[in-house]
Chain A
Amino acid sequence: MAAYENRNAMIDHSRSNRPSWLRSLADSDVAVGWLFTLPFLVLWVWWFLYPFAQSFLRSFQDVSFTALNDATFIGLQNYIQILNDPEFYQAVLHSLQLVVIAVPVQTLLGLLMAVLVNQKMKGQGIFRTVFFIPYITSQIAVTTVFMMLFKKGTFVTKFFTLFGFEDVTWFADTRYALLFVSILFIFQQCGFSMIVYLSGLQEIPRDLYEAGQMDGASKWAQFRYITLPSLKPVTFFVVSVATLLGFQIYDQIAAISRYGALGSPAGATSTVVTYFYQHGIRYMNIGYGSAAVVLFFFIIMFITFLQKKWLGDKE
């Protein structure tokens, strides 16, 4: 007890020796909050805000990637040119198609897998690991394996003929290439959705289910009226992240376009990101590419806003 009092006395003494402004700073929750946020904030400004501000500025310039000092201000010309380019609309359409196909499927599959591995069963850990592996495996490696599987004459392409598809090399066919990328994306992202849903499932209080059982609710009713509503914030997170990643997909497309033009075959897999990369980096027209990025940013913001409105927690 005496030692405790001594210690407190020492702390008080040390505090009283500090300047008053430091004392008030340490007592302020707001200041401490900012202090803890500072490392993230610095990185965010350095890695996101500053590059984005640069991109925004460059989007009004005619400037080559390799001669950044020779920039000419051209106003909205880059934006006008992009909005008059049919390839941009094609890229936006492909990005939207990919997100519309892949996001609902991978969200549903992720939820299904999470419910399955949340059951008490033998080998639960193995299933969780197996389902999660594609997410942590190199995207190029997974794409390469998928390219081997979806070659003309393989059992996979032959299997899909049962559903009316032709036995062709999927990633070389303009009709199937985007679907191929979507399947690939779903396969890789399911594991992530599963893990997030799994953590969500484990947060749902048991007593809700017990109350449901006492009221005679069936398994489906419990899932429909307890599990799904409880997972709403998780679903918003999964859908938002999947949408962002779907819009940003690049590695898989670059891998299937190897030895050809990006977005191959014939632009069937071109997306907003490949459009930006092609113009900004490959053709070295960083002003034009930056304008595409700014437009892309607002498209994603708008879609996230809609998602928040429909799926987000009203509270």
Chain B
Amino acid sequence: MSSIITAKNLTKRYGKFTAVDGISFEIQEGECFGFLGPNGAGKTSTIRMIHCVSPVTAGTLTVKGLPCSIDNRTIKKTTGVIPQEITLDVDLTVRENLMVFSRFFDIPRREAKTRVEELIKFVELEAKRDSKIDQLSTGMKRRLLIARALINQPTLIIADEPTTGLDPQARHLIWQRLRQLKSQGVTLILTTQYMEEAQQLCDRIVVMYQGKILKEGTPRTLIDEEIGKDVVEIRISQDQDEKLIGSLAGFSCGHERVGDTLFFYCRDGHDIRKKLVELDLPNTVHRPATLEDVFLKLTGRSLIE
């Protein structure tokens, strides 16, 4: 695999505010690369620079060897963007939205008609072909955004929180479609706050926080390195901590107190499970470690606004 996107010391400033603070990364052709992070971490700013709608303040950023700049029509021509906000043309129908968009890419009319019919089928909006946008549910609108992003048959797709605000059915349908695209060889860049989404779709992820990349790796290695295999959550009052930590000291687990809960992060949960049964504590949860644990550990558990 060769790298399709290269960023070196990429920086984005809005006035005095630094949104992206000198990050470096490489994205390989055909992989799904995820940007994870809380609100305001700099994910959207980063991908806006990748698809050339926001100028790079400092550092270098190339897509397929071409430097990113807002006037780079070549990059835009082969990139599909699924935006975070629903930016459909509300004056037009589902079909017209796609037809009008095909113009912007200079797709010949006849070719566009075929593609539009295919895409409407792909996102399962056949019954809504001639409906106006305000007659669609949020899930349908998001699907139409995906279809719109595919009109130019892009080799790079950028999805900015594509399932925000959707019900589970709609979310799973979108995940399936994105995986389908990836299997066709498309490179996918995803930003998300949903850890399950990242685990479902991404080959590699970076965790961003305050404009910086904190960690990079596959979801599995990040979980292994940062958390381990198992997590034990014990809801217990704080004055019991010392005793409990003492009695579990032999299992080489990391621990963390958050609010009403004491967390243990363990390499091997087998023995600790036995010990927990022995201790017979109420309100204990023992579960496999997830990406969410990594995320919370790296970006802190306090509310970010």
Q: Do A and B originate from a single complex?
A: no
Q: Which residues of A contact B (CB under 8 A)?
A: none
Q: Which residues of B contact A (CB under 8 A)?
A: none
